[in-house]
């Protein structure tokens, strides 16, 4: 191959993971508190950069283990998020994963660049035919995300979710979390 020159700029690749469990009929999502900039102190999904020689699936498993101590569980790919400007550090594309696991299989312990790891209770309120609000409630904090849902087109099977308003959540993790919550609740037969 020699000195091949690639003429296109290359983005960084990341993996983000939405981990869910159920307690007494309620859905919970695992979020970390970021220990480093950008968004230091804000909530985020566990995740991070794909390292050289690593697949995005391997990066997801590694980052989940490093930041939360959770290992050995199967994850499903949710979708890829590539909106320009989604990460203030530069051009970054992420593949998001999600999983719903029994709490006894989740031995959570914050590590790496996560200041803390916390389970947040998930609740969804449908405000109109196409707008809903997701609340994530923890021991001391509550995150609210208001979302508009538009039906998919002939070329896009899945609906498009647009975050209208959110607070205290890093990057575009409000959008990723919205898609993940919708997918998990639909899978549980609890999406209205």
Strand partners, 134: 124, 145
pLDDT for 164 = 98
Cα 1 to the center of its chain, rounded Å: 38
SS3 state at 178: helix
pLDDT for 155 = 64
**C-beta of residue 145 within 8 angstroms of C-beta of residue 128:** no
Residue 187 vs residues 45, 65, 99, 152, 170: alpha-carbon distances, Å: 20, 25, 11, 18, 26
SS3 state at 60: helix
Query: Which residue stretches of the chain have pLDDT < 50?
Result: none
Question: Would you say the C-alpha torsion 78, 79, 85, 88 has a positive or negative sign?
Answer: positive
Long-range contacts of 39-44 (CB under 8 A, 24+ apart): 39/170, 39/171, 41/115, 42/168, 42/169, 42/170, 43/118, 43/120, 43/136, 43/141, 43/143, 43/168, 43/169, 43/170, 43/173, 44/16, 44/169, 44/170, 44/171, 44/173
Instruction: Give me the domains of the chain, ranges plus CATH numbers.
Output: 12-120+172-187 (3.90.79.10)
pLDDT for 91 = 96
Q: Residue 94: which residues within 8 A CB-CB, separation 6 or more?
A: 13, 14, 15, 16, 47, 80, 81, 82, 86, 176
pLDDT for 115 = 78
pLDDT for 15 = 98
pLDDT for 158 = 76
SS3 state at 52: coil
SS3 state at 136: strand
pLDDT for 122 = 98
pTM above 0.95, yes or no: no
């Amino acid at each position: 191959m020699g000195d091949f020159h690639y003429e296109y700029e290359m983005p960084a690749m990341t993996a983000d993971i939405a981990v869910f469990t159920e307690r007494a009929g309620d859905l919970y999502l695992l979020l970390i508190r970021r220990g480093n900039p950008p968004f230091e102190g804000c909530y985020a999904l566990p995740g991070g950069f794909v390292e050289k020689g690593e697949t995005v699936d391997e990066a997801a498993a590694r980052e989940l283990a490093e930041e939360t101590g959770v290992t050995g569980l199967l994850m499903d790919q949710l979708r890829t998020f590539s909106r320009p400007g989604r990460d203030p550090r530069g051009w970054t594309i992420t593949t998001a994963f999600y999983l719903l696991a029994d709490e006894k299989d989740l031995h959570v312990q914050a590590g790496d660049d996560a200041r803390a790891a916390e389970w947040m209770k998930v609740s969804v309120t449908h405000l109109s035919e196409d707008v809903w609000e997701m609340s994530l409630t923890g021991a001391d904090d509550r995150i609210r995300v208001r979302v508009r849902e538009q039906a998919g087109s002939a070329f896009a099977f899945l609906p498009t979710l647009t975050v209208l308003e959110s607070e205290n959540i890093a990057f575009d993790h409000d959008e990723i979390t919205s898609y993940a919550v919708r997918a998990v609740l639909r899978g549980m037969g609890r999406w209205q």
